A and B are shown apart, each in its own frame.
Chain A
Amino acid sequence: MTTILTSTAEHTVAARDGLWMSPVDAEKVTGWSLKPEGMCRAELCVPLPESALKPNEVDVAAFWRKLGGPLIASDQRDVWVLGAPADERNAQLEGLQAPDFTLPDVDGVPHTLSQLRGKKVFLATWASW
């Protein structure tokens, strides 16, 4: 099994030869779905080369490279990171809508930023180091 780390989650999927996986898993991991036009999210589609497609399999590594996102693998190629492309981060921030997130409190209870709509939020980081 292969562990895939995205900016929002950690997934464990059956993948072979890098990140060849079923379209169902590809969608679960990336949030993009495989259509005849390529990998699509909302109105945007990224065409895939023939070499990135096999019957019921898609090469997510090839897709991510096409998307321009950082792709890093562990030495054993059992853990991969699909990093957000710089363009995507900039576009999101430039829209000035505060990116939503869900993080746990010290007891593990999840809290989501968008639950605070209607309040002014002072979002501040800290660390023990």
Chain B
Amino acid sequence: MWQQLYDELKDKNFIVVAVAEESRGAVHARPWIEQAKSSYWQLIDSEHRLEDLYNLVNVPQAVWIDEQGAIVRPPETAGSTDHFRRMDLKTRTLSPEDQAARLAARQAYLDAVRAWVNTGKYALPADQARAALPKVTPEMARARAHFRLGVWLHGHARTAEGDRHMAEACRLYPDSWSMWRQAADLDEVGKASGPEFWKRVQALGEKPYYPSPRL
């Protein structure tokens, strides 16, 4: 997904770290990784640790980190848009206008990354970066603990109990699409994109699935 970007910018002290939030693990993620043939880091995060550490809620999200290890752009949607919500579910296509708009949004995001690497543009000063950080509430922290236990139990053949904890996690942190979709995927591959997913997306109403980055 990011190979072209990486190829263009790698000689400018830039690297992509792609992390698979994949509780089914390396074996499950391997086909995608091998097909990508990427030369940047491809890591497997089967316990969703990164989402816990950085307070991530969906994929793809990205964090920009500078040479000193400082966060210069907190978690944001990484180039994806909500146009998919208007997909024709029978033909699974978007209108030409939506396709073009989606592509343009992705290009704009990639151009922003290029500008950052080339000129430092779009890196937020500390006070703005801090203000843009998503805040962790006690409910979110509790949700993450339930989710961690749920994934562990599911992986150790204690499925019903695991499902209960993942459901509690989703109840406590309904804005985390990753938790909901990972739990659905653990239940059955494909369920994360199935009818229940579409119902949950429709229930968002005017709220975004992928909030746009403020570039």
Contacts and interface: CB of A to CB of B under 8 A. Distances in A.
Contacts of B133: 90, 93-94
Q: How large is the interface on B (under 10, 10 to 19, 20 to 34, 35 or more residues)?
A: 35 or more
Q: How large is the interface on A (under 10, 10 to 19, 20 to 34, 35 or more residues)?
A: 35 or more
Nearest to B54: A99
Given A69-B141, A125-B21, A81 B182 contact: no
Contact of A124 (B12, B17, B149, B165): B17
Nearest to B133: A93
Nearest to B34: A106
Contacts of B130: 94, 96
A46 B14 CA distance: 41
Given A7-B52, A93-B54, A97-B69, A79 B30 contact: no
Contacts of A103: 19, 43-45, 49-50
A70 interface: yes
Contact of A104 (B44, B59, B152): B44
A53 interface: no
B210 interface: no
Contacts, number: 215
Interface in A54-95: 68-72, 74-75, 79, 81-86, 89-90, 92-94
Interface string A3-37: 10101101000000000000000000000000000
Given A89-B53, A99-B54, A111-B17, 18 more contacts: A7-B53, A70-B146, A84-B144, A86-B137, A93-B54, A93-B71, A93-B133, A96-B126, A114-B69, A118-B67, A121-B15, A121-B17, A122-B5, A122-B113, A125-B178, A126-B32, A126-B60, A128-B29
11 contacts: A72-B149, A84-B52, A86-B137, A89-B136, A94-B130, A96-B129, A98-B65, A98-B71, A108-B26, A122-B17, A127-B178
